[in-house]
Amino acid sequence: MGDRDAAQDQVRAALTSGARAVLLEQEVFPLARAELPAQLRLIGFEEVAAALEASMRAERSLEELEGDLGCLSRSMPSSL
């Protein structure tokens, strides 16, 4: 629908939930949203960490948001 602000909010929420799932799968207790990127980097999930961090700090284009969802789907544990 082209509502970039709403899309960014939804992608940020999806990235946050996905990050928490990844961390729990790796037996790491997820901390607050602002701390998730550092936790993800420590366990080798740089791409998701960068996407989540960008969604919190900068306005993302719709294309970038689509890419962020793609990196999340590639990183999700297979058990989910």
- pLDDT given at position 12: 96
> Residue 69: enclosing H or E segment and its boundaries?
helix 62-75
Q: Which of 51, 61, 49 lies closest to 5, judged by CA?
A: 61
Residue 27 lies in a domain: yes
pLDDT for 16-59, tens place per residue?
A: 999 999 999 999 999 999 999 999 999 999 999 999 999 999 99
- pLDDT given at position 44: 95
Question: CA angle, 23 as apex, 35 and 37 as ends, to 5°?
Answer: 30
Residue 61 has pLDDT above 60, yes or no: yes
3-state secondary structure of 15: helix
Residue 59 lies in a domain: yes
- pLDDT given at position 51: 95
What is the domain extent for residue 20?
4-75
Is pTM beyond 0.85 here? Answer: yes
- pLDDT given at position 1: 60
- pLDDT given at position 33: 95
Distance of CA 38 to the CA centre of its chain: 12
For the chain, how many structural domains are there in total? 1
Residue 80 lies in a domain: no
